[in-house]
A and B are shown apart, each in its own frame.
Chain A
Amino acid sequence: MTTTEVTPEPRTAKPVTQLGDRIFAGSAKGAGILILIVLAGVAAFLLTEAFPAIVAPTEDLPGEQNLLLYIWPLLFGTLLSAVIALFVATPLAVCVALFISHYAPRRIAQGLGYLVDLLAAVPSIVYGLWGVGVLAPASVGLMTWLNTYLGWIPLFAGPVSATGRTMLVTGLVLAVMILPIITAVAREVFLQAPRLHEEAALALGATRWEMIKMAVLPFGRSGLISGAMLGLGRALGETMAVAIVLSVSGVVTFNLVSSGNPSSIAANIALQFPEASGLGVNVLIASGLVLFVVTLAVNMLARYIVNRRSEFSGAN
């Protein structure tokens, strides 16, 4: 960048524009446009590489399996594991966020927030190793109990896996991974709840829980929903934890405690890709395209809810 030290003319009324200005503004704008191009490129390249698998006749595909029939169990497994994670993590995250924002003493609240953020800093491969090495063996007892006493529910029909590498454990590991994301969003919106409303509720004699129920939760509802959806998007795309923990057989089943489970799209790609060749690669990329579309839809919906909320924020 060339600096041109021109003393501005005193008579110019409009802002000074220099060569440096134009270069800088142009490159800033260019970087922004580049991001749009990259995102379009992600979609375009995935489409290009997935296309051969989409148009190929069924006989040519690996396993001579219809592409949709191949992807469907994977999509099912992806959604199932993510939904379990969401069901476990959301209530927990709401409680943790409330604890940090309204229950813990002010002085240590921020420190506790850092602790939860640390959960987000752990790499996913570490969660995978932890899930298969610690959580899976530890939860065999719990799953046996569920199967014995709640076995009439199809979810816990069994037979119980001896290794603990089940859909339930995978969902729990994913829940741990998305917990900090949902907690962070929930904490933000709870802290933004109008202070005067809270104080008014307390002044009228409400207990702390009544105050939270009346002043904090209604205010934070849409923020919570979008936080949960961001977590869902993360859980849908999580690869390594599922790839390491889940024992896969490719069946479509709601049975959460047995050793036969559908894989997830992301985990299947990670497991198959290193050995795949020819059309197999294209099939995997086509499944990745499906995952891309699903997560894109979830995230756009979440952002839509957030943006709609921001118009109301501050409105009392």
Chain B
Amino acid sequence: MPTGTEHNETDILGPELDLPATPDLVPRAQGKLPRWAPWAILAASAVVVGGILATVGFSIGLWVVLTVVLFALATYTTSRVVEGPRKATDRLVTVVVGSAFAIAMIPLISVLWTVVSNGVARFDAAFFTNSMRGVVGEGGGAYHAILGTLIITGLAALMSIPIGMLTAVYLVEYGKGRLSRAITFFVDVMTGIPSIVAGLFAYALFALVVGPGVRMGFAGAVALTVLMIPIVVRSTEEMLKIVPNELREASYALGVPKWKTILKIVIPTTAGGIATGITLAIARVIGETAPLLIAVGITTGVNLNPFDDRMATLPVFAYYSYVSPGIPREPFLDRAWTAALVLMVIVMLLNIIARIISRAFAPKTR
């Protein structure tokens, strides 16, 4: 792989500079490894490590790890002998950075594979149409939990989207001075509130109002709102800042009042971006477990009233099915994995929808 040439874009070189364009014309003190050399070394390392492991006992994981280690060492040594220490370090870092990326991909693939392979067993119609009322062993489903998740997340979105968007409008269009700086800072701080603390807050709030031991869907929605507001504010703020000032000035010049300019010019211009941000915010909070565990609890039947008593939600359903299964265990574990799968499918769908929205409504660049 020829290093050091990719970033030399010719557009920064003035036309009068007549520099050699091909790397071969640059004088080199040392030799250069051919392009195929890294691949050859990689193949050789794989074979050598495989041969050694075959004698002592083979395992895929160990084979991959040792191959990469040997590859890095062999590349460094070869390159050092042929090309000198600087090129050798460069190649070594390339191997390290590349394998770091590969390592980071392992958990993603492993998580996806585990959830899909374990969850697909109960990914059937009964799971989406039955609740857990009266179910002791096989069968049953998460109909009640799916409804609960939708209701609570919907309520949270209803509360946090207007507050978040209005705050962003204030910060971008109106805010100056100390108040806006304070809001910006505390929105940042709010991003870091642990989800369990948000749950405790919602519980403490409703315990003071209703009485201790309170569990209700609305309390969970309040907790999720606390978590969702800063995300909505941040993303909306970023989007509003992108809108060019010329649009606002043109509108003012036509005599349109400021509030109408914001509602009819600024927000529609960037509606796609705002919708993307909101979708991602919903995706963030829909998988939250801890606050719902605290403030909403769990139940086996369908409860559609968020202001009365416990509700089931998908993450909490998965959690309880896993940590306190009944007897026999297997149906409960299967349901836990399927609930996790449904949750992931919902989150991935929301992410894909967000990407589609941002693609479709991307600001037209001339």
Contacts and interface: CB of A to CB of B under 8 A. Distances in A.
B363 interface: no
B315 interface: yes
A126 interface: yes
A288 interface: yes
Interface in A30-73: 30-36, 38-39, 41-42, 45-46, 48-49
B114 A122 contact: no
Question: Taking each of A18, A123, A202, which has the highest tally of chain B beta carbons within 10 Å of its own beta carbon?
Answer: A123
Interface of A: 3, 7-8, 15-18, 20-21, 23-25, 27-36, 38-39, 41-42, 45-46, 48-49, 91-93, 95-96, 98-100, 103-104, 112, 114-116, 118-119, 121-130, 133-135, 176, 179, 183, 196, 198-199, 202-203, 205-212, 230, 233-234, 236-240, 244, 266, 269-270, 273-274, 277, 281, 284-285, 288, 291-292, 295-296, 298-300, 302-303
Contact of B111 (A114, A127, A202): A127
B233 interface: yes
A21 B166 contact: no
A24 B192 contact: no
A120 to B, nearest CB: 9
B193 A202 contact: no
A45 B100 contact: no
The 4 nearest A-B residue pairs measured at CB: A237-B194, A123-B287, A95-B100, A299-B192
A96 B100 contact: yes
Chain B interface residue number, banded: 35 or more
Interface of B: 3-4, 7-9, 12, 86-87, 89-90, 93-94, 96-98, 100-101, 103-105, 107-108, 110-111, 114-115, 118, 162-164, 166-167, 169-171, 173-175, 179-180, 182-183, 185-198, 200-201, 203-205, 207-208, 212-213, 226, 229, 233, 252, 255, 257-260, 262-263, 283, 286-290, 293-294, 297, 315, 318-319, 322-323, 336-337, 340, 343-344, 347-348, 351, 355
A28 B236 CA distance: 13
B200 A288 contact: yes
Contacts of B347: 121-123
A27 B173 CA distance: 13
A299 B343 CA distance: 29
Contact of A20 (B179, B226, B259, B343): B259
Contacts of A91: 100
A127 B322 CA distance: 13
26 contacts: A17-B258, A20-B259, A20-B260, A28-B170, A95-B97, A96-B100, A104-B101, A118-B348, A122-B347, A123-B289, A125-B287, A126-B111, A129-B337, A130-B107, A199-B8, A207-B87, A207-B90, A209-B93, A237-B197, A244-B322, A266-B194, A269-B290, A285-B200, A291-B194, A298-B192, A303-B188
Given A285-B200, A296-B189, A38 B229 contact: yes
Nearest to B94: A103
A313 to B, nearest CB: 16
A302 B262 CA distance: 33
B202 to A, nearest CB: 9
A42 B201 CA distance: 5
Contacts of B93: 208-209, 212
Contact of A29 (B114, B174, B201): B174
A38 B197 CA distance: 13
B4 A202 contact: yes
A25 B252 contact: no
Contacts of B170: 25, 28-29, 31-32
Contacts of A31: 162-164, 166-167, 170
A308 to B, nearest CB: 13
Contacts of B337: 129
Contacts of B186: 35-36, 39
B259 A24 contact: yes
Question: Taking each of A27, A45, A135, A291, which has the highest tally of chain B beta carbons within 10 Å of its own beta carbon?
Answer: A45
B114 A134 contact: yes
A240 to B, nearest CB: 5
Given A28-B174, A41-B205, 18 more contacts: A24-B263, A35-B233, A42-B193, A42-B226, A49-B208, A95-B97, A99-B97, A119-B107, A123-B287, A124-B290, A125-B319, A129-B114, A199-B12, A207-B89, A270-B290, A295-B194, A296-B189, A303-B188
B255 A16 contact: yes
Nearest to A268: B196
Nearest to B19: A203
Contacts of B315: 123, 125, 240
A128 to B, nearest CB: 8
B193 A292 contact: yes
Contacts of A211: 4, 7
Contact of A28 (B100, B114, B173): B173
Given A99-B98, A123-B287, A129 B322 contact: yes
Nearest to B180: A32
Nearest to B105: A115
A119 B175 CA distance: 35
A45 B206 CA distance: 10
Contacts of B101: 95-96, 99-100, 104, 112
A45 B201 contact: yes
B197 A46 contact: yes
A179 B212 CA distance: 38
Nearest to A18: B257
A277 B94 contact: no
A124 B314 CA distance: 12
A103 B188 contact: no
B183 A299 contact: no
B200 to A, nearest CB: 4
A295 B110 contact: no
A291 B196 CA distance: 9
B335 to A, nearest CB: 12
Contact of A237 (B107, B110, B193, B351): B193
Contacts of A114: 355
A48 B206 CA distance: 12
Given A16-B257, A123-B289, A130 B110 contact: yes
